[in-house]
Chains A and B, each alone.
Chain A
Amino acid sequence: MTTNHTHHDDDHKACLALFEKLSEYIDGETDEVTCKAIRAHIEACPCCTTCLETLKRTIGFCEEVKEVPVPAGFSQKLREALKKMPPALSS
């Protein structure tokens, strides 16, 4: 079966090795040499480009998830519960 790209086994190995490091790469936590090698590979490899971009987007979604307000009445309930605490602080 033919595929729509020109990888051979060595490249495949490089892809798999890179797959493990993608998050570190995105987070800027790889050392400079590794970072350069990864960038060079990705620029030449459409599979890894897709892999990188979909992972980045996954992170992007997580970062954009909005907070919800606390339920009505909860703040009041919480403060009442905390008022019942003994004054344990200054000892």
Chain B
Amino acid sequence: MERKPIQTPDVRDNDTELVTAIQNGATDRFEELVTRYEGKLYNFGLRVCKDASDSEDLVQETFINIFRYLKDFRQETKFKNWMYRIATGVCHRMRRRSKYAPERELSLDEFLPQDLADIDTELPAWAAMPIHQVLNRELGDHLKASVKELPPQYRLVLVLRDMEGFSTDEASEILGITPTNVKVRLHRARLFLREELKGYFHDNQPHTS
């Protein structure tokens, strides 16, 4: 019987050549990896860690671990996904050290409208206006602060999916949880943020000009 070949995800990308070269002994090129990803990791840190100082630590510890373990990386996944798995591991360890942001579950019930009469049938201005007319610096800052309010297991999923652009399967691989779990946490995290935004726009109407 004719069988389709098993689909392996295509893990070759822009990093493959550089990573392979370093694995084959060109350790002087490690700095190229640092240049390529320090900004990305730093911003990831700002989104998931307590503050800028923790974020710097996250970048440094992540690169130290990459440097140490790159020889064992078998390129069965994209380098970037492997790097984020290391970074989230560092992040977990740092959180345990500093004991901030307690874990708690968000239940769907928290976000369910209690009464149909509570639901707006009219689209609020902040969702109806063109996004760039609404999203200013102040809102961006508020959003970042709201992301920090998320319990960590939800925050990581939201940041990976909606800010860093990973797919459900990739986030599942990075975090070591099932795709279903990624979806459940993501939905609740988004609902949490939406409530925060509703509160924000209740006090700050977007400028309609």
Seen from chain A, the residues whose Cβ lies within 8 Å of a Cβ on chain B are 1, 3-5, 7, 12, 15-16, 19-20, 22-24, 27, 29, 46-47, 49-51, 53-71, 74-75, 77-79, 81-82, 85, 87-91
The reply on B121 being an interface residue by CB < 8 A is yes
Given the interface pairs A61-B135, A78-B63, A79-B31, the reply to whether A20 lies near B108 with Cβ below 8 Å is yes
The reply on B163 being an interface residue by CB < 8 A is yes
Given the interface pairs A65-B163, A90-B25, the reply to whether A57 lies near B38 with Cβ below 8 Å is no
Across the interface, do A88 and B67 meet the contact criterion of CB distance under 8 Å? yes
The reply on B144 being an interface residue by CB < 8 A is yes
Identity of the chain A residue whose Cβ is nearest the Cβ of B201 in the assembled complex: A54
Return the CB mask of B41-74 against A: 1 if under 8 Å, else 0: 0110010000010001001100110011011000
Contact sample, A vs B, 21 pairs, CB 8 Å cutoff: A3-B117, A15-B116, A16-B112, A22-B187, A49-B123, A53-B123, A54-B123, A54-B126, A54-B127, A54-B197, A54-B198, A58-B194, A61-B139, A65-B140, A65-B163, A77-B56, A78-B59, A78-B63, A82-B67, A89-B22, A89-B70
Given the interface pairs A4-B121, A66-B140, the reply to whether A89 lies near B34 with Cβ below 8 Å is no
Across the interface, do B68 and A88 meet the contact criterion of CB distance under 8 Å? yes
The reply on B124 being an interface residue by CB < 8 A is yes
The count of chain B contact residues (Cβ–Cβ below 8 Å) is: 59
Nearest CB in chain A: distance from B63 CB, A: 6
When distances are taken between beta carbons in the complex, the residues of chain A under 8 Å from B59 are 70, 74, 78
